[in-house]
Structure 1
Amino acid sequence: MDSRKLSALLSSLVSQVILLLFLFPSSSSTPHSLSSDSNSQENLFPLLQHFLCSQEILTSLVLSISRKRKRTLFPDPESEPTHEDRYSPPREVRLTRSPGSFKTCFNMTSTTFEWLSGLLEPLLECRDPVGSPLNLSAELRLGIGLYRLANGSNYSDIATRFGVPESVTRFCAKQLCRVLCTNFRFWVAFPSQDELKSVSNSFEELTGLPNCCGVIDCARFKIVKDDETWKEDSIAVQIVVDSSSRILSIVAGFRGDKPDSTVLKLSTLHKDIEEGRVLNSNPVYVNGAAVNQYLVGNGGYPLLPWLIVPYEDFLPGSCEEKFNAAHRFLRVPALKAIASLKNWGVLSKPIREEVKSAVAFIGACSILHNVLLMREDDSALCDCSGDDYDHQFHGEFRNLEDDSKKGFEIRRALAAKAAEFHDSRSMQSD
């Protein structure tokens, strides 16, 4: 029953009880029951106060339970906003809970949304603007923020859609990014040694190449700085992924005109590897060569003992050609992850934010990308064709091979291993 109707019913019942007490005072065989009318009315006041107090307590309890059970739903993305939508205060609005509607609105299923809402609820509700707290549920805050990330809509359109002031949409979007990037950045943390063993095993099953601990790549996202010039620029984002396209490491905020190799050398990942903090387990021996843990990257990176790039020159049918084929196959998860990030509407077009906010959007989308993989929710995951991968692979060689003799030895040993794996698979298929 509606809380207001129930409160009215309780009030009516109490009023009737009071009226009955006045009209039909209780009789008693004791002498005290034969007191004067004024004394009888005075004896009624404590009883009246008790009923009135009970009414207030019960009504408050009912209203409290009603508020706790109330769920915030979201507008159907297929419906057009009405005139009232543009000017009304925050309200409960309905969303058609079909898979298509949730995917369109939030890039995730309704079950993933509800799981994420429950996880983030205490964090989304604990940091309202000073002096002007928001009377919004965690679900509505999450919905507004996710709508910005999933669709890339401007704040004015989101405000119209959800029936809230534009300032509220800005706050909710940036609050969601802040909560994710601050409290859940461990979802994109570089794996421990035990976890890396599982990562390398997965890659080895695909290509026969042992000790590969990830694929490194660099993406660019356009940004339009929110100033008088509105000059378009880009941000370089370096990622490392595993065989499932899960992001293991991400560094964002570099100028987009910097080459991949420069971004790598400026990143903390490069420093951590060079100083032995990561990729530091004992090597495995492949065809007589000690192969340390390594990443694979495109031809825009230098050849290093821990970073293996493809051959620029090779003969048809050679070990080098077979290695390049395996190497290209290993790179597919990174290209898929980048394409999936660009499936988020806010990253698929120039980001009209300051650099700091744009980096936060990229970080939040990366965390949500891993959440979707963890939840086996493919709503925002991209499944590019092989032609797309080949297109991104060719033409990236820049003659940046390092003079490291060890890097050449490791790649030569891996090329022989790739050829063995290729030939064994060919024999099995025959």
Structure 2
Amino acid sequence: MAAGHRAIVRDRMYLRQVPRPRVFRDRSNPLEDLREEEIFARYRFRPDTIYFIVDLCQAAARDTGRCFAIPLVLCVLSYLRFLATGAFQLTVGDTVNLSQPTVSRVCRQVGQVLSALADRYICFPSGDRVRQVKQQFGAMAGFPNVVGVIDCTHVSIKKPSANPEDYIGRKGIPTINVQDYISSSDVAREDTRCTNLAPMCTPKEVLRRYDHVVYDLINGYIGDMQGFLLADSGYACTRYMLTPYMNPVGEAQARYNGALCRTRVTVEQTFGILKQRFQVLRRKLNCYPERACVHIRNCITLHNLGIDRRDIVAVDPIDPNDNPHYHGVDVGDNMDGRAAREYVTRMYFER
């Protein structure tokens, strides 16, 4: 038995001494081999936009000292493929002939570069853009002085090791609660721009920090714009953020609720566009909250970048009457909010 064990050890030592054959993988550019429709189906952007993203990610390129370094375009394509499909890194690597550790490394590098560009593409409107937004929303449903709509969506993540109970969402699984403010309503062209309003944090953290984060930003930005932000009944009605009547009385309040729902449906449609374009948001992000927040923010950055370049994805329209989102909970309406809502109802929806 000892002799057999020595033979096994000897064979293993011999195998270790045999050098592995060096494999030179195919580094051809898929953008040069596929048609434009095939590229869009796989990476959710058209070739000219992908090359534009590659130019933005030049900071991710580094000199490895190797003869066959990975081209930057393959690094970007790997990350776009990951966001577009939500697949395992091994599966993503098979599409561009990269190993799983390499895909993990390049996704981290490209993700960090895109995250640094978030402030360039995720921002509140200003100047003439505010007036244009008000006109767009007014033309949609006749709701006056609307500068945006707000809502949240949940993205499933890997259960964190620290304080996992704080990340349990309403469905009993760990999630990231994403608060977004939509500042455009041109849904006929799917031109709905996302502006991240609150930090991407857990549901309980959002509830604890509402007064200090969300509403302070609303008072600061929306107040300066002299307009309103529309939300569903899960939010508190404030001077600058209007919510629907839970039990409308009279035709004026019913017309107010109808106009609010027809306007607020933009944010629901935008979440649908985001999750249809980036399937990683629809499936489970197999990473911890810090990395998940980077991926989510990059999806929003790329979404807005695609809008700027008119590289958009279509989505089926949502009927606002089928999705009113009346949560039926009391979140503490204040007198200023109710007074503002009554004023808008009386001035614009009474006949």
Q: TM-score range by the shorter chain?
A: 0.7 to 0.9
The one-letter code sitting in structure 1 at the alignment partner of 2:210 is L
- What secondary structure, in the 3-state scheme, does the structure 2 residue paired with 1:186 have? helix
Equivalent residue, structure 2, for 1:122:
58
- Take 1:403 and 1:193, find their aligned partners in 2: how far apart are those partners? 30
Matches for 1:16-415 after TM superposition, within 5 Å: 88-92=24-28, 94=30, 96-118=33-55, 120-126=56-62, 135-225=69-159, 232-242=173-183, 243-244=185-186, 245-256=192-203, 262=208, 264-267=210-213, 269-274=214-219, 277-281=220-224, 292-315=226-249, 318-343=251-276, 344-379=278-313, 381-386=314-319, 389-404=320-335, 406-415=336-345
Q: For residues 417 and 138 of structure 1, do their structure 2 counterparts lie closer, same or farther at Cα, with a shift above 3 Å needed?
A: farther
Give a deviation string over 1:149-171, Cα, whole Å, max 9, x none: 11111111112221112121112
In the superposition, the TM-score normalised over structure 2's length comes to 0.79
Q: For the Cα contact (< 8 Å) 1:97–1:110, is it kept in 2?
A: no
The structural deviation recorded for 1:263 is 5.7
- What secondary structure, in the 3-state scheme, does the structure 1 residue paired with 2:198 have? strand
- Take 2:195 and 2:100, find their aligned partners in 1: how far apart are those partners? 35
The structural deviation recorded for 1:133 is 10
The structural deviation recorded for 1:262 is 4.9
- Take 1:134 and 1:192, find their aligned partners in 2: how far apart are those partners? 46
Structure index of larger Rg? 1
The structural deviation recorded for 1:402 is 1.8
Count of residues in Structure 1 that have an aligned counterpart in Structure 2: 313
Give a deviation string over 1:158-196, Cα, whole Å, max 9, x none: 122211121211122222221111124221112225432
Give a deviation string over 1:76-110, Cα, whole Å, max 9, x none: xxxxxxxxxxx653521545432431122111122
The one-letter code sitting in structure 2 at the alignment partner of 1:402 is D
Q: For the Cα contact (< 8 Å) 1:188–1:367, is it kept in 2?
A: yes
Q: For residues 147 and 257 of structure 1, do their structure 2 counterparts lie closer, same or farther at Cα, with a shift above 3 Å needed?
A: same
Equivalent residue, structure 1, for 2:17:
none
Q: For residues 224 and 342 of structure 1, do their structure 2 counterparts lie closer, same or farther at Cα, with a shift above 3 Å needed?
A: same
- Take 2:248 and 2:110, find their aligned partners in 1: how far apart are those partners? 49
The one-letter code sitting in structure 2 at the alignment partner of 1:272 is L
Q: For residues 139 and 397 of structure 1, do their structure 2 counterparts lie closer, same or farther at Cα, with a shift above 3 Å needed?
A: same
The one-letter code sitting in structure 2 at the alignment partner of 1:114 is Y
Q: Give ranges in structure 1 of 5+ residues lacking alignment.
A: 1-86, 283-291, 424-430
- Take 2:101 and 2:296, find their aligned partners in 1: how far apart are those partners? 21
The one-letter code sitting in structure 2 at the alignment partner of 1:241 is I
Q: Give ranges in structure 2 of 5+ residues lacking alignment.
A: 1-22, 187-191
In the superposition, the TM-score normalised over structure 1's length comes to 0.66
User: Once superposed, what is the RMSD of the aligned Cα atoms?
Assistant: 2.9
- What secondary structure, in the 3-state scheme, does the structure 2 residue paired with 1:352 have? coil
Q: For the Cα contact (< 8 Å) 1:252–1:359, is it kept in 2?
A: no
